[in-house]
Amino acid sequence: MSTRTPVACLRDHVGSTVTIAGWVHRRRVLKSVSFLVIRDRSGTAQAVFANPPDVTEETVVRLTGPVVATSQGAELRDPTVEVLSTADKRPPFDLYRPEVSAGLPVVLDNAAVALRHPLLRRRFEVAAASVAAFRRALDNQGFTEIHTPKIVATATESGSNVFQLDYFGRPAYLAQSPQFFKQAMVGVFERVYEVGPVFRAEPHDTARHLAQYTSLDAELGFITDHRDVMTVLRDVIAEMATAAGPDAPFVPEEIPSIDFAAAQELLTQHTGEDPRGEPDLAPAHERWLCEWSEREHGSEFLFVTGYPMAKRPFYTHPDPTNPTKSNSFDLLFRGLELVTGGQRLHRYSDYLTALGDQAGQYSDYLAAFAHGMPPHGGFAIGLERWIARVLNVANVRGATLFPRDLHRLRP
Amino acid sequence: MSTRTPVACLRDHVGSTVTIAGWVHRRRVLKSVSFLVIRDRSGTAQAVFANPPDVTEETVVRLTGPVVATSQGAELRDPTVEVLSTADKRPPFDLYRPEVSAGLPVVLDNAAVALRHPLLRRRFEVAAASVAAFRRALDNQGFTEIHTPKIVATATESGSNVFQLDYFGRPAYLAQSPQFFKQAMVGVFERVYEVGPVFRAEPHDTARHLAQYTSLDAELGFITDHRDVMTVLRDVIAEMATAAGPDAPFVPEEIPSIDFAAAQELLTQHTGEDPRGEPDLAPAHERWLCEWSEREHGSEFLFVTGYPMAKRPFYTHPDPTNPTKSNSFDLLFRGLELVTGGQRLHRYSDYLTALGDQAGQYSDYLAAFAHGMPPHGGFAIGLERWIARVLNVANVRGATLFPRDLHRLRP
């Protein structure tokens, strides 16, 4: 690689001749002087020309010339310009304007160029830093990273719709989560995590659902109950929050927690509705509870615990003091369910009872439990929802490089 | 979580009473004394009993008792035993024996319990450490991690077979690699990597092919040619090698490199065969070249460069001095192709020429190039092949938690 100075470092080279390389972010031609703003992964810098160079915006160039100090920092003066590749088409909107002037469909249809806008690019820099933080928090607590199959033989995990594929002439399905595999691997490593794609043939066309998303999954053994899982999750979220830099949300030392039934009472008292008897929270109720949490506890994060067993998956561990309730939780953040988790069943006999006639379908899954499994639990964080909430992106698609949904299979 | 001492730390607690928890790795009942060997994620430790406890191997237990020094370290004496969950079935082979006494099919069919064997578990600890090393090496060089779609609209990337799925009533395909997406993201981040599953409907039933594997993909812009990619790859491999601890292979400061045509000459001179004119290397020839590299250069790693354009994908950049040859490479390691990489085309017009009539099918992919892309290249490492070669596992399935192949879709 030829020597190249990051544009953000120009001011360290005042008085020298340097080479920079990047995209023509903006081109301005005035009467007596012209400017190119050059963008590389470090930022942007300006080059000044007596005669306007003949390049369009987004052309990839290499400039060599002297660095001169300016009131804002430093710029290149009359550098030589080498075109590395031309931009044959114009971007669908001006990438140099501070705000994104296009709507979401234009951005998504033109992701390869639209994401070059610094505001859009930043979402995915925060995503990368968030995933690194997730792993770092768990690595520090002795977790082992795993990679599990995304093609599975049976479509039995939950009520969600699954994608079916042709597997060498047989039907197979895309995994909706690594749930069964990560539980089995607690038997091997005690504490595991996986970062990977999960697939939902989600027929709902909402701002918070995707057909593929990145799931940050963790599972750990030798817990007392779900509260141990919540403690680990709180540390993970705190580490992930730092990834957002100046946008980092405040994560309290202890995230406030409300029991599901108590939440329903609150909603009944204060919203004029009566959700008691419902087995789950409606999106509007999640939003109300988040506002309540912020008002009452100063926390944008809120745990809801003790969901009714009726609405949780069969592997959920009941509350030993009240078996209609579960040792499960959701973590709400800024009005949205961000994380689901809880304690799982760990005894083989409990699985046989929970599954009844269906146990035969789950024989692969049950194998781990037949050989001794510790009390365990875990959680799954949706990466795109996290980014959307942290950076106030209205639609989760705006926090996905190339989203897939009911209508969108390209680019 | 109740306080628990890792069994590897017992010797730090001689004279105290501690609680340990784990699996009954082995149970031995002698005339006057009995032993339980307890396994947790830190290792194994022994507990000694006057009266044999009534637990089977793989039962999950919590033991509390005094720690006593022994000639080998420390052990628990007559602890109380609490059963956390019973092992209802016997493992398919004895997990406590130093070697794995079962063949590969038994291991794969019973992965949830078989992988508890310390020798098998270690493969995946090295895998986790290798992936962490891959990311660390690239993070240190300013790469950004990305997550790209695994469901794609067209089955056009290469000659390999693809899996077709039903995407809300339309046909779609599982991505064979993140190739197109990672190239497009060079336009946004300059340097990107992705760790994720890739899918090949591979009809060959060999020891080195899987229907799903974990691909460690990287791509970087502003290169001079493929040699810049090889330099980055060498540093990545060196970092990954350290993950294997005592099994770390030696990675030379500069990995030896041989031109494809020169390799064919060598093979013709020394093997009694004449592969000249063939567009690729046969597996036997890759093995021979690795032996040659070790003998001549003291390196188990060997780059082969300058493969004929005829056999490389359309996005491969030709050698400017000889357009029938490519700026591509394979990295061979212990007889096997471990990595494929090279420089890619970066000019829109070059893609239009290379694709000809087919350009329309690739419009999504070409979008990035129409808007200015720097010279770039990258590589992809197969994680399971890496682990298999580093730890001398004969079949790549033995380096996969739950492999998927022509015949295997479970567990």
Whole-number pLDDT of residue B204: 82
Would you call B298 an interface residue with chain A, using a CB distance cutoff of 8 Å?
no
Contact A148 B223 (CB under 8 A): no
Q: For A225-276, what is the HEC assignment?
A: CHHHHHHHHHHHHHHHHHCCHHHCCCCCCCCCEEEHHHHHHHHHHHHCCCCC
Q: Which tokens sit at A54?
A: 């003949």
* Nearest residue to B409 via CA among B211, B178, B241, B256: B211
Per-position DSSP letters for B163-191, written without gaps between them: -EEEETTEEEEE-S-SHHHHHHHHHHHSE
Partners of residue A4 in chain B, C-beta under 8 Å: 222
| Lowest-pLDDT choice from A18-27, A190-199, B277-286 | B277-286
B181: phi then psi, degrees, rounded to nearest 5: -70, -40
Whole-number pLDDT of residue A119: 97
Which residue is closest to B43 within chain A, CA to CA? A189
Would you call B92 an interface residue with chain A, using a CB distance cutoff of 8 Å?
no
Contact A87 B121 (CB under 8 A): no
Would you call A367 an interface residue with chain B, using a CB distance cutoff of 8 Å?
yes
Which residue is closest to B228 within chain A, CA to CA? A1
Task: Please identify among residues 211-270 of chain A the ones whose CB lies closer than 8 Å to any CB of chain B.
Answer: 211-212, 214, 222-224, 228, 231
Whole-number pLDDT of residue B325: 96
Q: What is the pLDDT of residues A330-345, one digit of tens each?
A: 999 999 999 999 999 9
Would you call A347 an interface residue with chain B, using a CB distance cutoff of 8 Å?
yes
Cis peptide bond N-terminal to B411, omega within 30: yes
Task: Please identify among residues 32-61 of chain A the ones whose CB lies closer than 8 Å to any CB of chain B.
Answer: 40-41, 58-60
* Nearest residue to A176 via CA among A402, A398, A382: A382
Contact B190 A41 (CB under 8 A): yes
Whole-number pLDDT of residue A125: 98
Q: What is the pLDDT of residues A217-271, one digit of tens each?
A: 999 999 999 999 999 999 999 999 999 999 999 999 999 999 999 999 999 999 9
Q: Is B26 left (phi over 0), alpha (psi -120 to 50) or beta?
A: beta
Contact B346 A84 (CB under 8 A): yes
Whole-number pLDDT of residue B156: 64
Domain boundaries, chain A: 7-85, 118-399
Task: Please identify among residues 168-187 of chain B the ones whose CB lies closer than 8 Å to any CB of chain A.
Answer: 168, 170, 172, 174, 181, 184-185, 187
Specify the CATH number of the domain B7-85: 2.40.50.140
Q: What is the pLDDT of residues B240-285, one digit of tens each?
A: 999 999 999 999 999 999 999 999 999 999 998 999 988 899 999 9
Task: Work out how many CB contacts closer than 8 A connect A with B.
Answer: 263
Class of the A118-399 domain? Answer: alpha beta
Contact A374 B21 (CB under 8 A): yes
Q: Which residue has the tokens 């001794």?
A: A372
Alpha-carbon gap: B269 to the closest alpha carbon of chain A (Å): 36
Q: Which residue has the tokens 């590897």?
A: B8
ipTM: 0.96
The helix (H) or strand (E) run that includes residue A128 is: helix A118-139
- Find the mean pLDDT for residues A170-199: 97
Alpha-carbon gap: B285 to the closest alpha carbon of chain A (Å): 30
Would you call B81 an interface residue with chain A, using a CB distance cutoff of 8 Å?
no
Whole-number pLDDT of residue A160: 64
Contact B139 A132 (CB under 8 A): yes
Would you call A188 an interface residue with chain B, using a CB distance cutoff of 8 Å?
yes
Of A224, A402, A406, the CB nearest to B149: A402
Whole-number pLDDT of residue A8: 95
Listed as ranges, residues in chain B with pLDDT below 70 are 1-2, 156-160
Would you call B375 an interface residue with chain A, using a CB distance cutoff of 8 Å?
yes
SS3 B30: coil
Confidence tier at A159 by pLDDT (50, 70, 90): low
Partners of residue A181 in chain B, C-beta under 8 Å: 401-402
Note whether B7-85 and B118-399 share their fold: no
pLDDT above 90 covers a percentage of chain A that reads: 92
Confidence tier at A187 by pLDDT (50, 70, 90): very high
Contact B371 A404 (CB under 8 A): no
Mean of all residue pLDDT scores within chain A: 95
Whether the predicted pLDDT of A154 surpasses 90:
no
Would you call A411 an interface residue with chain B, using a CB distance cutoff of 8 Å?
yes
Would you call A119 an interface residue with chain B, using a CB distance cutoff of 8 Å?
no
Per-position DSSP letters for A82-99, written without gaps between them: EEEE---S--SS-TTSSS
Whole-number pLDDT of residue A277: 87
Contact B165 A174 (CB under 8 A): yes
Which residue is closest to A131 within chain B, CA to CA? B145
Task: Please identify among residues 327-346 of chain A the ones whose CB lies closer than 8 Å to any CB of chain B.
Answer: 346
Residue with the larger pLDDT of the pair B389 and A159: B389
Q: What is the pLDDT of residues B122-152, one digit of tens each?
A: 999 999 999 999 999 999 999 999 999 999 9
Contact B214 A147 (CB under 8 A): yes
Whole-number Å distance between alpha carbons of B68 and A390: 52
Would you call A114 an interface residue with chain B, using a CB distance cutoff of 8 Å?
no
